[in-house]
Amino acid sequence: MRLRSGRKADPAVFRITGARRGLHEDVLARQRRYVISMLVRTVAVLLTVALWNVSRPLAVVALVLGAVLPYVAVVVANAGRENVTSLPSTFITRDAPPTLPPGPGDAHNRN
């Protein structure tokens, strides 16, 4: 694929390890979730105002959503980094077999 300027586009980057996302990416993702939650809250508060004389029960539901959502958004945004449970253990146990069997010349080098 080529861009208009004639340069090649960067190929897609695939994640092949079980490593966690970088701290910068994690913070950006949490900020994005928080902003989206606050936008939903703003819409809920505006719906409360618009629906107050039209449908009072629906306006009350929107008001409750607008009142509860900030707490939920802060809790979600301040949640820790993701927990990757599928990563292999970094500790080698004592009963782990050696990576390679001893070679034919290694028998006399053990002293």
DSSP, residue by residue, 70-110: HHHHHHHHTS-SPP--SSPPSPPPTTPPPSSPPPTTSGGG-
Structure tokens at 53: 């004389």
Domain spans, the chain: 20-79
Mind listing the pLDDT tens digit of every residue in the chain (111 residues)?
445 555 566 666 665 666 667 778 888 888 888 889 889 999 999 999 999 999 999 999 999 999 998 888 888 777 766 665 555 555 556 666 667 777 777 655 555
pLDDT score recorded for residue 79: 75
Separation between Cα atoms, residue 31 and residue 73, nearest integer Å: 10
Structure tokens at 66: 């607008």
Place of tokens 């080529």: 2
Nearest to 42 by CA among 83, 73, 20, 85: 73
